[in-house]
Amino acid sequence: MKKITLISFDHWNYDYHIVEELSRQGIKSHHIKISSYKHKNLLDKISNSLSKFFLNINLKKIRRQKAIINKLDKLGYQDQILIINPEVISYKNHLEIKKRTKQYKAYLYDSVKRNPINHLLDGIFDEIYSFDKYDIEKYNFKKASNYIYLPVQSKKSKIEYEVLFVGSLDERIYSLIKLGDYLKSKKISFKFIVIGKRKKLKKFNLSEEELDLIDFQEKKINQEQLIEFYKKCNIIVDLVRKNQTGLSFRFFEAMPLQKRIITNNLNVKNYSFYNTNNILIIDDDKIPDSFFENKFEKLSTKIYNNYTISSWVKRIFDLN
């Protein structure tokens, strides 16, 4: 039986589905979830705080990487190891990980501009996958989009708002506010949930009127809650981050939920599931009234299946 290990932070629980699908396909799979690492005891926590303050050295990061190596030693030699967002691990530890597998692969959830990995481009990985168009062209990465991990929605939920956005606090908030102003003027119901630290909100210098358009909260939303929000809308808003062209998971959640998308990501035109009935690309804040009258147009089985996690796992790990 083949053995494959995935190494990732997995803050939103997306990567869990990769390991689950590998198991379904008869692979002995494991997930080393970096974010689950905790200080062993109070002494470790105190020593880490002192080290960061006086030496500018984060001992937790060092210990966390040692824990990855230790876990791999317990699991034994792997046929393949995939690491998502490899920039979180030092070059030295990448070399150690590579010794423990036949094939060492990386998948980038962000662009190289957002999360630089230039120090890891000397051939340490057997394959590097990316969803960012420009990075694929510039660095000769292999193309891989995100994936559909949800089953097709079989039951319709009650619609509570026409348009929905859920995302983290960053520069996209300005575009979101412009869109909110427009929807409000057209009397179209919407809910914009922005998640982040309240103290960071101050730097955006938003007026009270602008803040009223946003449902701001500090508490993170888990994957199950996110999907429940999506079920209650007709249209999901996707706003691309600066220095990124890849498609977010919103597109791959919208398809099985049969929701339409409003986006400013021009790159979506290059995907076979692009359909002007389901996806509206905006370069300003005006939206044709006809788009709100549309219903989701079902994709062909061939196109849909190409983006499922089953197909994704087969491509990335050469399981065909």
pLDDT by residue (tens digit) across 273-316?
999 999 999 977 678 989 999 999 999 999 999 999 999 999 99
pLDDT at res. 242: 85
Least confident stretch, 91-100, 166-175, 285-294: 285-294
In this predicted model, what pLDDT tens digit does every residue of 20-34 receive, in sequence order?
999 999 999 999 998
Q: pLDDT band for position 50 (50/70/90)?
A: low
Query: What is the mean pLDDT of the segment spanning 33-60?
Result: 70
User: What is the predicted pLDDT for the residue at 91?
Assistant: 95
205 pLDDT above the threshold of 60: yes
Percentage of residues in the chain having pLDDT higher than 70: 94
- What's the pTM value of the predicted model, to 2 decimals? 0.92
The secondary structure of the chain as a DSSP string is --EEEEEE--TTS-THHHHHHHHHTT-EEEEEEGGG---SSHHHHHHHHHHHHHH---HHHHHHHHHHHHHHHHH--EEEEEEESGGGS-HHHHHHHHTTEEEEEEEESS-TTTS--GGG-SS-SSEEEES-HHHHHHH-PEE----B-SPPP-SPPPP-EEEEEEEESSTTHHHHHHHHHHHHHTT--EEEEEES-HHHHGGG---HHHHTT-EEESSPPPHHHHHHHHHTEEEEEE-PPTT--SPPHHHHHHHHHT-EEEE--GGGGGSTT--TTTEEE-SSS---HHHHH--PPPPPHHHHHTTBHHHHHHHHTT--
Mean pLDDT of 224-250: 94
Reference 33, options 18, 48, 49; nearest CA is 18
Q: What local confidence, expressed as pLDDT, does residue 84 receive?
A: 95
**Residues 6+ positions from 48 with CB-CB distance below 8 Å:** 39, 58, 59, 60
Q: Record the tokens describing residue 163, joined without a space.
A: 């348009």
**Burial class of residue 134 (count of CB atoms within 10 Å of its CB; 0-12, 13-18, 19+):** middle
Mean pLDDT estimate for the chain: 92
Over residues 242-279, the pLDDT tens digits come to 888 899 999 999 999 999 999 999 999 999 999 999 99
Which of 190, 277, 264, 198 minimizes the C-alpha distance to 229?
190
What average pLDDT does this structure show over 165-189? 95
Is the pLDDT at 16 greater than 90, yes or no? yes
Distance CA 166, CA 238 (A): 9
Distance in Å from the first CA to the final CA of the chain: 15
Token look-up 């730097």 returns 203
Which residues share a beta bridge with 193? Answer: 166, 215
Evaluate if residue 53 carries a pLDDT over 70: no
What is the pLDDT, as a whole number, of residue 104? 98
Residue 57 reports pLDDT greater than 70:
no
Q: Are 148 and 256 in contact (CB under 8 A)?
A: yes
Reading the block at residue 94, the tokens are 């990448």
Provide the percentage of residues in the chain whose pLDDT is more than 90: 77
* Mean pLDDT, range 188-204, rounded to an integer: 93
pLDDT at residue 160 is higher than 90:
yes
Q: What is the pLDDT of residue 29?
A: 97
The token duo for 10 is: 């997995």
